[in-house]
Amino acid sequence: MRTYLNHGWLFAKGKDESFLSKKAVGETVEIPHCPVMLPIQYFDEKSYQGLWSYRREFDAPNDLPTQFLVFEGAMLQFNCYLNGEPLGHFVSGFLPVRIDVSGKLKEKGNVLVVYLDSREDPLIPPFGKVVDYLTFAGIYREVYLDSRPKAYIEDYFVRADSNGHIKVDVKTKGEATLSCKLTYEGEQIASFVKEITVPNNRLHLYSPEFPCLYDLVISYGEDKIETKVGFRDATWKEDGFYLNGTKTKLLGLNRHQSFPYFGMAAPRSLQIEDAELLKTSGINVVRTSHYPQDESFLDACDRLGLLLIDEIPGWQFISKEPKWRENCLDFARRMILKERNHPCLIAYGLRIDESADDHELYSSIQAAKKELDPYRPSLGVRNFKESECLEDIYAYNDFSCSDLTHGADKGTSWKGAEGKPKLVTEHNGHMFPTKSFDSTARRSEHALRHAKVISDVGGDPDIAGAIGWCAFDYNTHREFGCNDHICHHGVYDIFRNPKEAAYLYASQGKEGVLQAASSFLSGDYDEALLPPAYVFTDADRVELRKNGVRIGDFYPDKEDFPNMVHPPIKVDDWIGETFDEPRYSEKDAKKMVAALNYAAQFGFSRIHFSHKVLMLKAMLKYHLTFTDIYNTYGKYISSWGSENTVWSLTAYKGGKEVGRIEKGPSLSFHLEVKAARTALIHDDRYDCVRVSIAKLDQNGNLCRFASDPIEVKTEGPIEVYGPSLFSLYGGQSAVFVRTKAVKKPTKAKLILKGQDEEKTIEFEVK
């Protein structure tokens, strides 16, 4: 039985000795809690590296004899006192701490005091050297009291395979009888003690497409554990990854768990929203770089069928200090124990990201894995190709893509990986940082570089898949990024708003995607050119029209991106069927159109010699001047200062129209405000929902370079976590709405005031 202790903590900066007495004064806060609310950029990361005091009074009305106090995550280490008595010193970081407080609780008026130290400690990974992410501070995950009877289940390990075989191992305390009950969608499937095979006709395999989960109740006398089970085989072979016997290319993104303002203290609801967003991003796997993440994120991945690779805390560095190494091994053990029952987990990341070989440390971590979970493979992430590989899978961060001619190196060139399954665990990132408000050309290239890697890996029979760097822009130390404390490496920005690359990913695994990585406006490009527009879609073709007149059809670009499920569609002919110059012969017309399209992409000063000859010949043959030819360009291709043009793209799939977008000058504007949910629940924890804001034009296109001020107000039992006045950022932003306690269902309002309009979203808090 869990009693959550998330509400009503007293908090103070520094180590406040008075917290141990009744005289304690502080601010009342909620857990998850970040001691310092930082702006999204330009701050001093030292500001959160401090000491903090927390105090919570609570009753423990149940009389169960076994009681544990569980901290799911507190950055970084703490001393804890219960009713004045010291409970000890604990290192949490990214892992839970479970403290046995049996016999120490009073029925009423217990006082828990936590002195937390969030300073970077060189003896605890990931610290010791500078790290490309911020760890932030606070008791940033939930706290609860776990009450158990005298005989109870200390730990359990469930495995279920694609043959329907399920095996349950338990570690128990005290004498009682063990039994397990398996149900599927409320229907009882089996009752057993340790293991059983589910008959074929009742077996529903777990996969990303069908994440079928069974409910398992493990009873030990009075004690009960409820958990989810997925029957599946996740097998890694030298030639790739197999799910339930079917070879499956992995396509993924790396996730940092930090959020604007919250730091790492994003509540459960935002963790779940992230998993849901990633699931609809067209990917089938996520890597929790570079530390174990919130259980609610993993639970959501289980439910959604989003496969997961985890990772021990670290970043490039291994210390020689015995204490650091002890902590590293301890973290690996604790991560396995925390995560081994998740069906979504397909490999343990048991090497510090991009660290050097270290036989002694990594052998001991492998030995720990063998003891705690001999069944699931381990993976080690490197940024070099020759290495001692103690793990089961050789993972490599391939940053060899430096333009659009090359995506990824061949798996056969990874010398240290011989005989092992191979996976690209990062690509792009720092090679092409892209802000959501960068130029259209850059945002388009950012997406295409991801496409290039996906295609190269897609065509490499030796590599199981590719996980891009990364899902979301993230806060980082001053040594990285462009001095604003953000690594703009995400396919989404820090608010989880999509850059063009996000549509590229979505088009690979989601239906109904149609987005063009172009503004179709020459003024938006260098030299007022109009380079090809890349369209990210799962459709079979798109038809381009200019001011309603058909230009032609365009198909997935299988030449540049041969090995993608849905290669981008390259729109590189701005004239096509509209070319109506009777003076040209059919052959000359075709050549002239090609030359003019080339000029649109590269400029007249860079056209080929053959284009020049063609134009010269046309001038002689049809008595034209160069100005005539240039004017033909102006007539057909929207150019600097030319009249408004509306380009439309209609997508077709299986012969049916599936979507249409129109691009052209933005003439009128509105704010689009969206919340994933409006029914909010304030129970053992506060609820929180991300509300996205975007400035759109009359065609529904994002006004990318808008930075309008937005003012926020609330009415009723909600508040906005973050500033109440801010600017749009790449035409978009988001606010995070948090609930306050209510006695009965109560209406609340979020009011967002833009320059010219006001938008209101109504919520109900229960």
Complex with ligand GAL: residue 120 or 132, whichever CB lies closer:
132
Contact in structure between 404 and 448 (CB atoms under 8 Å): yes
Q: Count H helices, E strands: the chain?
A: 9, 48
**In the complex, which residue's CB is closest to ligand GAL?**
429
Q: Which is nearer to ligand GAL, 416 or 531 (CB)?
A: 416
450 sits near ligand GAL (criterion: CB under 6 A): no
Q: Closest approach of Cβ 470 to ligand GAL, in Å?
A: 7
Q: With CB under 6 A, what is the number of residues at the site for ligand GAL?
A: 11
CA atoms within 13 A on the CB side of 339: 34
428 or 701, CB closer to ligand GAL? 428
**626: which residues sit within 8 A by CB, 6+ positions away?**
615, 619
Report in angstroms how near the CB of residue 358 gets to ligand GAL at its nearest. 17
- Least distance (Å) between residue 399 CB and ligand GAL: 7
Q: Please, what is the minimum distance in Å from the beta carbon of residue 469 to ligand GAL?
A: 5
Residue 654 backbone zone (phi > 0: left; psi -120 to 50: alpha; other: beta): left
Pick 389 or 542: Cβ nearer ligand GAL = 389
> By rule CB under 6 A, what string of x and - marks binding of each residue 385-404 to ligand GAL?
------------x-------
Residue whose structure tokens are 């109870």: 152
Minimum gap (Å) between residue 352 Cβ and ligand GAL = 10
> Which residue type does 142 have?
E
Residue 162 vs 383, nearer CB to ligand GAL: 383
Which of residues 421 and 429 has its CB atom nearest to ligand GAL in the complex? 429
**Cα first-last separation, the chain:** 23
Residue 618, token pair as written in the block: 């046309």
Instruction: Report in angstroms how near the CB of residue 279 gets to ligand GAL at its nearest.
Output: 23
Contact set for ligand GAL, span 285-314 (CB under 6 A): 290
- Tell me how far, at minimum, the Cβ of 425 lies from ligand GAL, in Å: 8
Q: Does the protein bind ligand GAL through residue 354 (CB under 6 A)?
A: yes
Q: At what angle do helices 609-621 and 626-636 cross, to 10 degrees?
A: 110
304's enclosing H/E stretch is helix 295-304
Closest approach, Cβ 364 to ligand GAL, in A, equals 23
| Range 412-431, binding ligand GAL (CB under 6 A) | 426, 429-430
Asked if 469 is part of the footprint of ligand GAL (rule: CB under 6 A), the reply reads: yes
Q: Taking CB under 6 A as the rule, does residue 635 contact ligand GAL?
A: no
CB of 477 to ligand GAL, least distance (A): 10
What is the C-alpha separation between 528 and 496, in angstroms, rounded?
A: 31
At closest approach, how far in Å is the CB of 432 from ligand GAL? 9
In terms of CB distance, is 78 or 348 closer to ligand GAL?
348
**Cβ-based nearer residue to ligand GAL, 311 or 456:** 311
Q: Which amino acid is at 693?
A: I
User: Is 132 one of the binding residues for ligand GAL (CB under 6 A)?
Assistant: yes
- Residue 594, C-beta contacts closer than 8 angstroms, at least 6 positions apart: none
Residue placing its CB nearer to ligand GAL in the complex, 312 or 649: 312
Q: Is 489 in the site for ligand GAL (CB under 6 A)?
A: yes
Pattern 512-551, ligand GAL, x by CB under 6 A: ----------------------------------------
Which residue, 383 or 707, is less far from ligand GAL as judged by CB? 383
Q: Is 413 helix (H, G, I), strand (E, B) or coil?
A: helix
d(CA 444, CA 700): 19
Measuring CA to CA, which residue among 333, 404, 353, 759 is closest to residue 570?
404
Shortest separation between residue 145's beta carbon and ligand GAL, angstroms:
36
CA atoms within 13 A on the CB side of 87: 25
Structure tokens at 561: 């991106």
- For the record, the structure tokens of 178 come out as 């063990």
CA torsion sign for 420, 424, 425, 430 is: positive
Tokens coding 521 = 């406006």
Q: Which is nearer to ligand GAL, 353 or 358 (CB)?
A: 353
Query: Please, which residue, 352 or 706, has the CB nearer to ligand GAL?
Result: 352
Q: How far is the CB of 333 from ligand GAL (least distance, A)?
A: 23
φ/ψ bin of 72: left (φ > 0), alpha (ψ from -120 to 50), beta (otherwise): alpha
DSSP H or E segment with residue 737:
strand 732-739
Contact 229, 160 (CB under 8 A): yes
Q: Does 697 bind ligand GAL (CB under 6 A)?
A: no
Quick one: 402 or 547, whose CB is closer to ligand GAL? 402
DSSP 84-127: TEEEEEEE-TTS-EEEE-TT---SS-EEEEEEEE-S--TTSTT-
Does the protein bind ligand GAL through residue 474 (CB under 6 A)?
no
For 552: left if phi > 0, alpha if psi spans -120 to 50, otherwise beta; the answer is left
From the CB of 427, what's the least distance to ligand GAL, in Å?
Answer: 9
- Determine how many CB atoms are found less than 10 A away from the CB of residue 186: 6
**Phi, psi values for residue 621, rounded to 5°:** -65, -40
Say if residues 588 and 618 touch (Cβ distance below 8 Å): yes
Please report whether residue 353 would count as binding ligand GAL according to CB under 6 A. yes
User: Least distance (Å) from ligand GAL to the CB of residue 512?
Assistant: 31
Please say whether the beta carbons of 652 and 658 come within 8 A: yes
Write the CB contacts of 678 (distance below 8 Å, at least 6 apart in sequence).
Answer: 689, 761, 762, 763, 764
**Closer Cβ to ligand GAL, 353 or 392, answer by number:** 353
- Residue whose CB is less far from ligand GAL, 94 or 469: 469
Instruction: Kindly state the smallest distance separating residue 132's Cβ from ligand GAL, in Å.
Output: 4
Residue given tokens 């527009």 in the structure block: 533
Q: Which whole-number Å values give the CA distances from 636 to 451, 579, 646, in the listed order?
A: 30, 8, 12
Shortest distance (Å) from residue 319 CB to ligand GAL: 18
> Is there binding between residue 339 and ligand GAL (CB under 6 A)?
no
Name the token pair of 387: 């290495």
Token duo for residue 120: 């970077």
For ligand GAL, the closer CB: 126 or 282: 126
Is 473 a binder of ligand GAL (CB under 6 A)? no
Using DSSP's 3-state secondary structure scheme, residue 233 falls into: coil
Of 609, 125, 89, 504, give the one whose Cα is nearest residue 328: 125
* Residues near ligand GAL (CB under 6 A): 132, 290, 353-354, 383, 397, 426, 429-430, 469, 489
